[in-house]
Amino acid sequence: MQHQVLILDFGSQYTQLIARRVRELNIFCEIFPYNSKSFKVEDYKAVILSGSPFSVRAEDAPHPDLSAIKGKLPLLGVCYGAQFMAHNFGGKVGASNTREYGRANLSYIKKDDLFFENVSEGSQVWMSHSDTIVNLPSNFELIGSTHDVKNAAFKIKGEATYGIQFHPEVYHSKDGLTILKNFLVNIAGLQQTWTPDSFVETTVAELKEKLGNDKVVLGLSGGVDSTVAATLISKAIGKNLYCIFVNNGLLRKNEFENVLEQYKHMGLNVKGVDASARFLKELAGESDPEGKRKIIGRVFIEVFDDEAHRIQDVSWLAQGTIYPDVIESVSATGGPSATIKSHHNVGGLPDFMKLKIVEPLNTLFKDEVRRVGRSMGIDDELLGRHPFPGPGLGIRILGDITAEKVRMLQEVDHIFVQGLKDDGLYDSVWQAGAMLLPVNSVGVMGDERTYEKAVVLRAVESTDGMTADWVNLPYEFLQKTSNKIINGVKGVNRVVYDISSKPPATIEWE
Ligand SMILES: Nc1ncnc2c1ncn2[C@@H]1O[C@H](COP(=O)(O)OP(=O)(O)OP(=O)(O)O)[C@@H](O)[C@H]1O
Ligand SMILES: O=c1[nH]c(=O)c2[nH+]cn([C@@H]3O[C@H](COP(=O)(O)O)[C@@H](O)[C@H]3O)c2[nH]1
Ligand SMILES: NC(=O)CC[C@H](N)C(=O)O
Ligand SMILES: [Mg+2]
């Protein structure tokens, strides 16, 4: 992938949004923690500095070294990024009298600056700050103000360096996208050529070069990400790609058979490996969420390793890891974000495994993966599938896992998800599934006392899984589904609906 825009992250909750907006402009970009050693500034054509929860005045605040960037590459600082430049190059940042969150309007803009092309005075912008730039350094030029914030936008004289106090990346900044476009296209001179087709073309070419005649094993899950990854790699190396679909005993009802059937028509080289007994044996007695995730991750790797030995001379393991998997799972070394859950597919391979990892989608968001899939002609039905986590029902059965609990949850999940499909609700939901609680409750069925399990139904809407809200499913649907579950699934006598958003909850319960 050709490097274009580098986004340096100082821990803002909006950093992802900057990336999404830049890509909406068909310009490729990548995010790195500001102190990461994994990128080379010289590879990029423009740099954006994100916001941050820190105050530049705090002792432990991030202080990036901009000497390789400022004045050499077009540079845009957003909020903290702008405050940092003002503070660091001789200006003054102080606490604002009023903390500003939300709507503001541009009361002054320097109209002839390319930065504000097609933006008018009065344009609504979104603020989220408690510090403010009190004085600009003398070589900075004021180019925009709001009613409350005089130094809302500046440029450095004679440089393509800009700073803005407001957030162009949030949808409530009405001309935010225009401003980003002005910076990236008018000022940095970037071309808007990053499309799904161009991604396929460049990625396939890169994979050809990287993989050559090597053999690659890929974990194929039936989900969107690994299917798109497999199709890309298969375009590059054909028969040298060996796709392994593992039954970890934690899949949905009939999923192993159904998915294998579906792949028959796709021209991929797929082998189904039933390792369900092995997974369940290793998981027996483990009830800690991270403990279960670690076991599942390890057994996955062992199964892939066994298969790689069977095939012989395999050099690579390919996975369908996408961007949010990486961001949520790894607190990039010293990076400002926290580890939420250990996704089984991120975090490297154990030493005994000599395989190198290839993850062609690890810079894309889910909706971008779907667009790439569509541009390669993958079935809409497959691309429209709800995400399903690799550890599967293992992280939806709270507490320890047994074959009987898996059976129960498979039935519950099947009734719920099939019901959504039958009632035309499936496509309006981003992800749906059921959890089995380690809780018995008292019920009465046919005049008899029951003391059985409670299950939770969860349906969320989201665009990328990073944030999510519960879906307001019709009461009639919930009512019907609850009846079907309690009447149809032995061992369950209670159904509840999860009405928590992410954050503060997460989508999966473990
Ligand atoms: N049952 C499985 N067999 C083989 N590989 C798997 C299996 N489950 C997960 N993986 C691997 O782990 C990766 C991450 O899983 P994840 O669920 O995030 O993606 P996905 O299944 O491809 O897509 P989706 O998010 O739509 O479910 C997959 O892309 C795949 O490489
Ligand atoms: O491949 C995966 N391996 C995992 O270990 C994993 N854990 C969560 N998920 C999926 O990620 C999205 C966000 O989930 P959470 O809100 O529960 O963190 C949701 O779509 C989850 O289904 C996983 N996917
Ligand atoms: N959103 C931001 O970047 C905020 C920057 C800084 N923490 C402030 O409150 O002003
Ligand atoms: Mg999946």
Q: According to the model, what pLDDT value does residue 103 have?
A: 85
pLDDT band for position 504 (50/70/90)?
confident
Sole residue written with tokens 């580098």: 6
State the distance from the centre of ligand 4 to the C-alpha of 222, rounded, in angstroms: 7
Determine the pLDDT at residue 350: 63
Q: Is the CATH number of domain 5-187 2.30.40.10?
A: no
Length of the chain equals: 510
Are 461 and 500 within 8 A, CB to CB? Answer: no
Strands 431-445 and 5-9: unpaired
CATH of range 196-383; options 3.40.50.620, 3.40.50.1980, 2.40.420.20, 3.90.79.10: 3.40.50.620
Q: What is the pLDDT of residues 74-106, one digit of tens each?
A: 999 999 999 999 999 999 999 988 767 788 999
The ipTM value here is 0.86
pLDDT by residue (tens digit) across 4-31?
999 999 998 888 889 989 998 999 998 8
> CA 46, CA 49: separation in Å to the nearest integer?
10
For the stretch 227-249, pLDDT in tens is: 999 999 999 999 999 999 999 99
Ligand 2 in contact with 506 (CB < 6 A)? yes
Determine how many CB atoms are found less than 10 A away from the CB of residue 441.
Answer: 13
pLDDT at 351: 63
Instruction: Say if residue 332's pLDDT is above 50.
Output: no
Strands 270-274 and 314-318, how do they pair? unpaired
Q: How far apart are CA 387 and CA 234, in angstroms?
A: 22
**Dist CA 327 CA 363 (whole Å):** 10
* pLDDT of 46 strictly over 90: yes
Q: Where are the domains of the chain?
A: 5-187, 196-383, 402-497
Separation of alpha carbons 495 and 455, rounded Å? 5
391 CB within 6 A, ligand 2: yes
The residue whose CA is least distant from atom 6 of ligand 3 is 55
C-alpha–C-alpha distance, residues 295 and 302, integer Å: 10
The pLDDT score that the predictor gives to residue 343 is 57
What is the rounded distance in angstroms from the CA atom of residue 405 to the CA atom of residue 437? 10
**Contact criterion met (CB below 8 Å) for 34 and 54:** no
**Atom 5, ligand 1: which residue's CA is nearest?**
219
**Cβ neighbours of 427 (radius 10 Å):** 11
More confident residue, 355 or 211: 211
Nearest CA to ligand 3 atom 4: 129
Does the fold of domain 402-497 match that of domain 5-187? no
Q: Does the structure show a pLDDT above 70 at 342? A: no
What residue type is assigned to position 479 of the chain? Q
If pLDDT is split at 50, 70 and 90, which confidence band does 338 have?
Answer: very low
Architecture category of domain 402-497 in CATH = 2-Layer Sandwich (3.30)
CA angle 304, 278, 264 (to 5 degrees): 55
- Closest atom of ligand 2 to CA, residue 328: 18
Rounded to 5°, angle at Cα 340 from 469 and 414 = 50
Find out whether the beta carbon of 12 lies less than 6 Å from any atom of ligand 3: yes
pLDDT of residue 337 exceeding 60, the answer is: no
- The pLDDT value given to residue 336: 45
How confident is the model over 384-402, as pLDDT tens digits? 999 999 899 999 999 999 9
